[in-house]
């Protein structure tokens, strides 16, 4: 069969990213891997809290858990390291056959230094904060703090050294360096070192990448000068931390972004996390941070157009698409299909465990089991074929679509598959051609992969899929055969039954049941 499994690989084959012809794969154990992820709450990486993490992960069918490791947790006193939490995480993840992404909460966590040890965050002389234009101190640490960079890099390298020693089997497959870095309410640092740098020329690597002549930040970048300047220096800092870690164990590394409100509207840098890898500065990060394999969006905007706009911004030949955080409200679940359809290496709702922290909910978990259902359904569908899908996305073509919520968009989306076209409609009845009404809430999603010129893998929830020829004048389309089945552990297709009659006459109707189809199309002449 064309869709086959993954080969065996040595345990010391460190996970890495490969890119070819604009497509990307996260290689784990020697083959493409699709992260079906979830991120725990910020304070859940403690032995006391973990028993309320794993049951949520099990309910979700994830294959990967994103867990923070705070600098304060591993280096409470300068030079004294304690990796017991890392060992606990490795052991408990392995017992559940889960992979981990570790999140290095250090100099910047949602821009602030809250996770830096107290010997760092309370010592302004040695570890300086950013300065506002009026000379007062901003809360965030400055990217010009050379001692801060040295201390952060040393701690991060120690963490990676511990992984090199304690994780030869690569339970940890990727590492996030900082968390949503930058600064809120301040476009850039105004410390003396920053002022001097801002008055100087734009660095060669950046102006060449941006294809600009030599010049100052202000002349080359106008209203974006401070944003680009800050992004450059924060990215250089993160790159140095990443490089220190990679020199020890070269795991894939990434930085994540707190985004502006939407990807279409220009916003003043003061109104979002300036300095972080937002969609507005991906090129700056690519020039400044060659040791980061990925820059990634944390997407908390549930409007389809905005969500897809962010996915499109980060899905680039020089950047694998990865969504390390997204909302866990039910209307976000459908965007999984948009992400995997674009060949994302992973996707992960944020804050999904059973620790509770909202005072408004004194007696119940913040997130009850019910809320996980649509996310669990996605992963239930994809977990058996995660390797197959990752390979198809890397070697071939895939498409994905989520149900629109804006009535102006209607309840149909058309996917251009080249020779064919797939019309996906949401809220159709089981039979007949009545116009689709939309689902009771935006919950529909479909993903399609090409298996052969006339054959597709098709799956989804709460949607109808109808195939047509792009050139309907030349020939007539006929369904050759629709097989429902599953993939076994080796990635081999297990045929279950043929769909025919009512199951194909009105399109392929996906319900809430996990169904995967192989659809073979054919043609017959017009005359
Ligand atoms: C996320 C999460 C966690 C204009 C929020 C989202 C996580 C962090 N931050 O629960 O704190 O660690 O990465 C920030 C969203 C900013 C929205 C700005 C709208």
Question: What pLDDT is stored for residue 521 in this prediction?
Answer: 98
What per-residue confidence (pLDDT) applies to 365? 54
Task: For 241, list phi and psi in degrees, rounded to 5.
Answer: -65, -45
List the residue whose alpha carbon is closest to atom 4 of ligand 1. Answer: 261
**pLDDT the model gives residue 3:** 41
Distances (CA, A) of 40 to 50, 376, 507: 9, 15, 39
Give the residue from 451, 450, 456, 446 showing the smallest Cα distance to 509. 446
Give dist(CA 219, CA 228) in Å, integer: 12
Q: Whose CA is nearest to atom 2 of ligand 1?
A: 350
Distance (angstroms) between ligand 1 centre and the Cα of 327 equals 10
Ligand 1, atom 14: closest residue by C-alpha: 258
Q: Is 112 in the pocket of ligand 1 (CB under 6 A)?
A: no
Q: How far is the CA of 299 from the centre of ligand 1 (A)?
A: 9
Q: For 377, left (φ over 0), alpha (ψ -120 to 50), or beta?
A: alpha
Q: What is the 3-state secondary structure (H, E, C) of 103-171?
A: EEEEEEECCECCCCCHHHHCCCCCCCEEECCCCCEEEEECCCCHHHHHHHHHHHHHHHHHHHHHCCCCC
Do the beta carbons of residue 41 and residue 52 sit within 8 Å?
Answer: no
42 C-alpha to center of ligand 1: Å?
11
The single residue listed with the structure tokens 């507005």 is 280
Q: Counting atoms of ligand 1 from 1, which one is nearest the CA of 103?
A: 12
Nearest CA to ligand 1 atom 15: 258
Looking at the DSSP assignment, which residues form a beta bridge with residue 118?
none
Cα of 382 vs centre of ligand 1, distance in Å, is: 27
The backbone torsions φ and ψ at residue 276, rounded to the nearest 5 degrees and listed phi first, read: -80, 170
Strand partners, 257: 297
Q: Is the CB of 64 under 6 A from ligand 1?
A: no
ipTM of the complex: 0.94
- What is the full per-residue pLDDT of the chain (527 aa) written as tens digits? 334 444 444 445 999 999 999 999 999 999 999 999 999 999 999 999 999 999 999 999 999 999 999 999 999 999 999 999 999 999 999 999 999 999 999 999 999 999 999 999 999 999 999 999 999 999 999 999 999 999 999 999 999 999 999 999 999 999 999 999 999 999 999 999 999 999 999 999 999 999 999 999 999 999 999 999 999 999 999 999 999 999 999 999 999 999 999 999 999 999 999 999 999 999 999 999 999 999 999 999 999 999 999 999 999 999 999 999 999 999 999 999 999 999 999 999 999 998 875 555 445 555 666 778 999 999 999 999 999 999 999 999 999 999 999 999 999 999 999 999 999 999 998 778 899 999 999 999 999 999 999 999 999 999 999 999 999 999 999 999 999 999 998 899 999 999 999 999 999 999 999 999 999 999 999 99
- CB of residue 347 inside a 6 A radius of ligand 1: no
Name the nearest CA neighbour of 174 among 255, 72, 258, 95.
Answer: 255
Domains along the chain with CATH numbers: 30-186+235-378 (3.20.20.80), 407-525 (2.60.220.20)
Which atom from ligand 1 is nearest to the alpha carbon of 272? 4
Atom 6, ligand 1: residue with shortest CA distance: 258
The alpha carbon of 180 and the centre of ligand 1 are apart by a number of angstroms equal to: 8
The pair phi, psi for residue 478, each rounded to 5°, is: -140, 145
pLDDT of residue 360: 52
What are the DSSP calls for 448-492, one per residue? EEEEETTEEEEEEESEEEEEEESSTTTEEEEEEEEEEEEE-TTS-
Q: How far apart are CA 464 and CA 286, in angstroms?
A: 40
310 lines ligand 1 (CB under 6 A): no
């Amino acid at each position: 069969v064309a869709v086959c499994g993954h080969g065996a690989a040595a345990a010391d084959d460190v996970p890495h990213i490969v890119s070819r012809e604009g497509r990307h794969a996260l290689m784990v154990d020697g083959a493409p891997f699709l992260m079906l992820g979830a991120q725990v709450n910020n304070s859940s990486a403690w032995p006391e809290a973990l028993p309320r993490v794993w049951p949520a992960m099990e309910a979700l069918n994830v294959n990967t858990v994103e867990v923070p490791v705070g600098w304060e947790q591993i280096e409470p006193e300068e030079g004294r390291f304690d990796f017991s939490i890392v060992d606990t995480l490795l052991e408990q993840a392995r017992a559940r056959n889960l992979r981990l992404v570790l999140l290095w909460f250090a100099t910047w966590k949602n821009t602030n230094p809250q996770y830096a040890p107290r010997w760092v965050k309370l010592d302004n002389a040695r570890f300086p904060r950013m300065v506002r234009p009026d000379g007062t101190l901003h809360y965030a640490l400055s990217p010009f703090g050379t001692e801060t960079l040295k201390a952060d890099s040393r701690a991060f390298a120690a963490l990676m050294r511990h992984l090199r020693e304690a994780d030869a089997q690569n339970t940890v497959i990727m590492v996030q360096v900082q968390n949503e870095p930058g600064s809120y309410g301040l476009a850039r640092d105004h410390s003396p070192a920053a002022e001097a740098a801002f008055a100087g020329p734009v660095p060669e690597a950046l102006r060449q990448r941006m294809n600009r002549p030599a010049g100052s930040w202000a002349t080359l970048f106008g209203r974006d000068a401070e944003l680009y300047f800050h992004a450059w220096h924060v990215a250089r800092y993160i790159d140095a931390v990443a490089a220190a870690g990679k020199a020890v164990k070269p795991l894939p590394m990434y930085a994540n972004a707190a985004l502006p409100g939407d990807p279409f509207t220009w916003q003043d840098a003061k109104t979002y996390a300036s300095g972080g890898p937002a969609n507005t500065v991906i090129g700056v990060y690519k020039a400044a941070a060659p040791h980061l394999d990925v820059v990634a969006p944390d997407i908390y905007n549930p409007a389809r157009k905005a969500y897809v706009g962010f996915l499109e911004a980060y899905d680039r030949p020089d950047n694998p698409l990865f969504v390390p955080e997204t909302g866990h409200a039910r209307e976000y679940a459908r965007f999984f299909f948009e992400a995997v359809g674009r060949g994302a290496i992973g996707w992960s709702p944020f804050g999904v465990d059973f620790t509770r922290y909202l005072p408004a909910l004194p007696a119940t978990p913040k997130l009850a089991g019910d809320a996980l259902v649509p996310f669990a359904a996605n992963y239930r569908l994809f977990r058996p074929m995660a390797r197959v899908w990752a390979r198809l996305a890397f070697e071939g073509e895939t498409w994905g679509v989520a149900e629109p919520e804006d009535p102006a968009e209607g309840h149909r989306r058309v996917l251009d598959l080249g020779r064919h076209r797939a019309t996906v409609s949401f809220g159709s009845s089981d039979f007949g051609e009545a116009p689709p009404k939309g689902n009771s809430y935006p919950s529909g999603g479909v993903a399609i992969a090409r298996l052969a010129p006339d054959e597709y893998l098709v799956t989804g929830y709460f949607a109808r899929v109808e195939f047509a020829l792009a050139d309907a004048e030349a020939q007539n389309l006929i369904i050759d055969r629709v097989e429902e089945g599953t993939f076994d552990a080796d990635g081999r297709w297990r045929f279950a039954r043929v769909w025919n009659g009512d199951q194909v006459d009105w399109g392929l109707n996906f319900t809430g049941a996990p169904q995967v189809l192989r659809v073979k199309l054919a043609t017959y002449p017009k005359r």
